Amino acid sequence: MYGQYTFSDLKSNLKKDFSGFKKVKLALLSDSASQFLNIAIKGFGYNRQLHFEIYEADYNQVDLQVSDPFSELYTFNPDFIFINFSTEKLLTAFYETESSLQGVFSDLVLQTIQKYMDVIFSRTRSKLIINTYPEINDSVFGNYSSKNEASFIYQLRKINLLLMEKSQENKDLLICDLAVLQAELGYSFISDKKMYAMADMVYSVDAVPYVAKIITDIILSYQGTFNKCLILDLDNTIWGGIIGDDGMEGIQLGHLGLGKVYTELQLWAKQLKQRGILLAICSKNTEEIAKEPFIKHPDMVLRMDDIAMFVANWETKVENIRYIQSILNIGFDSMVFVDDNPFEREMVKSAIPELTVPDLPEDPANYLAYLRSLNLFETASFTEEDSERTKQYQEETLRNILQRSFDNGNDFLANLGMTAIVKTFDEFCIPRVAQLTQRSNQFNLRTIRYTEEDIRFLCKDPDFLTISLSLEDRIGHHGLIAVIILKKQDEYSLFIDTWIMSCRVLKRGMENFTMNMIIDLAKENNFEKIIGEYLPTNKNGIVTNHYKDLGFELMDNKWFLDVASYQEKNTFITNSNKAWTAIRY
């Protein structure tokens, strides 16, 4: 699909209007000529509403730019640094290495990379992107290379694996997997020997848009833009045939007909669900008939408890997708809709342009490979809570039903029996806290993104106070759903650096409970003022009046609250840990 953007398309994007797009500063350092890559990344950004400001280092200046503390790289102060290494240069370096050291070549390469990382991370807050190397067998040892540690391909593969390991050790090292790109497209497609000979460009002009897409995918996910939900059609999408006509025994699944194709698609969807992607069903069908295979068919992979929302009726898909969105309460721009019917797809696309609607190939045999090639579910994190997400949304549906049985909201809240677990950040919650700062767009007052490293750093800083809040009720656990980071501004005042809440718990009075907690903490530590700030984005409109509603007063774009005159807010949430204010300076 992204092959549809040619280099010329991306180049012509540069003339378009980038105003209003999110700005990202990217430094591009390369050991080969990178001008085309620069153009392609900037142009690709336009398609994803990103305004890349790119500093492109002069040709082959990686070492100089990284080691010189006064280099343009550091003056530029990038959000992301992409160091683009080429296999061609690696091969030359390998040949120039003494033969007695070729067997440990990968260690030498990794030492250099570690050196770059140390310097970059000590001087900047940038994230560093490094690519894996596309594979070349230099045919010096042929297939015997596998048996010889000192062969080039053996060392190259080892480098790629070591890079992945290094990125697991260091959260700020991100990998742009060009080895996988090459596996998909082939070396003869991604490289252009003529351009390499004439201009030292290693990638073909057809390959640079793909590299640009990978870089953009990675950066977007770290900016908090990624897909969270997969909406699936049923008939001829996750099974072959039409359940209403063919019946349970007639639909193609498992060994029947093209069944394997659909079974493998379901297996993939199930993996996504385990990773934390919400699955929703949207089908024109009678509900009971549509659900039957999920309950009874022996070859179904997806079962009812894999599905966060099941919508089967005779309304239009547009209406049903709007309904799914309203219940799950996530943006259309984080949802993917997969349907075999081009007519339905077009209807949905034109009605809800923010939604991602892949144009499935005509032949179902190609569905899965095509979907995989789009890399729709890039992510910047994975925590244990992710795999629980579907269950939490199912519980949410139960709460909705319960709520309808009460005439007024307060009775419902009182009946829920909500308990909050209040803690200062600990090692267990740090991944989830960092993830909330990365993912939350709506109930997020200042939208400051933190990595796990950042959070650990700030836990050690005596000027910071942290609160994590988890919520449970008689229906289930919400998990960790709110994060507060307070910064001592001066002896008397506390600044609310971060206030984030998951939209799963909107309208539970969590804001009131949290505010009471902040005040308790302020009192314990003899602060007199609380200062809040609202930084508007395209997505956090729901908290525009957050501080006003809590009784803060606006002065010079900051919100102020006097601790002594604070009136404790009404809440239906009880605190499971009365002693929590023991955390103090």
Residues near another protein (CB under 8 A): 7-8, 11-12, 15, 35-36, 194-195, 197-199, 201, 205
Which is nearer to another protein, 33 or 312 (by Cβ)?
33
**What is the Cα–Cα distance from 471 to 421, expressed in whole angstroms?**
6
DSSP state at residue 569: P
Which is nearer to another protein, 194 or 507 (by Cβ)?
194
CB of 82 to another protein, least distance (A): 19
Which is nearer to another protein, 56 or 344 (by Cβ)?
56
Contacts of 255 (CB under 8 A, 6+ apart): 299
Q: For residue 296, with 0-12 CB atoms within 10 Å meaning exposed, 13-18 middle and 19 or more buried, which class applies?
A: exposed
For the stretch 272-282, what's the b/e string if a residue is b when 16 or more beta carbons lie within 10 angstroms of its beta carbon? Answer: bbeebbbbbbb
Which is nearer to another protein, 11 or 158 (by Cβ)?
11
CA angle 440, 469, 170 (to 5 degrees): 60
**What is the Cα–Cα distance from 556 to 578, expressed in whole angstroms?**
36
Structure tokens at 584: 């103090």
CB of 209 to another protein, least distance (A): 13
CB 518 within 8 A of CB 486: yes
Q: What are phi and psi of 537, to 5 degrees?
A: -130, 180
Which is nearer to another protein, 35 or 489 (by Cβ)?
35
Which is nearer to another protein, 206 or 299 (by Cβ)?
206
Which is nearer to another protein, 11 or 270 (by Cβ)?
11
Element (H or E) spanning 313, and its range? strand 309-313
Which is nearer to another protein, 38 or 263 (by Cβ)?
38
CB of 32 to another protein, least distance (A): 13
CB 218 within 8 A of CB 268: no
**What is the Cα–Cα distance from 241 to 360, expressed in whole angstroms?**
17
Element (H or E) spanning 208, and its range? helix 208-222
DSSP state at residue 139: S
Strand order in the sheet with 278-284: 309-313, 278-284, 229-232, 335-338
CB of 88 to another protein, least distance (A): 16
For the stretch 165-203, what's the b/e string if a residue is b when 16 or more beta carbons lie within 10 angstroms of its beta carbon? Answer: ebbeeebbbbbbbbbebbeebeeeebbbeebbeeebbbb
Which is nearer to another protein, 194 or 584 (by Cβ)?
194
CB of 162 to another protein, least distance (A): 34
DSSP three-state, residue 500 = strand
CB of 273 to another protein, least distance (A): 43
CB of 461 to another protein, least distance (A): 47
CB of 178 to another protein, least distance (A): 21
Which is nearer to another protein, 204 or 575 (by Cβ)?
204
CB of 201 to another protein, least distance (A): 7
CB of 210 to another protein, least distance (A): 16
Rounded alpha-carbon distances, angstroms, from residue 318 to 337, 346, 376: 11, 10, 21
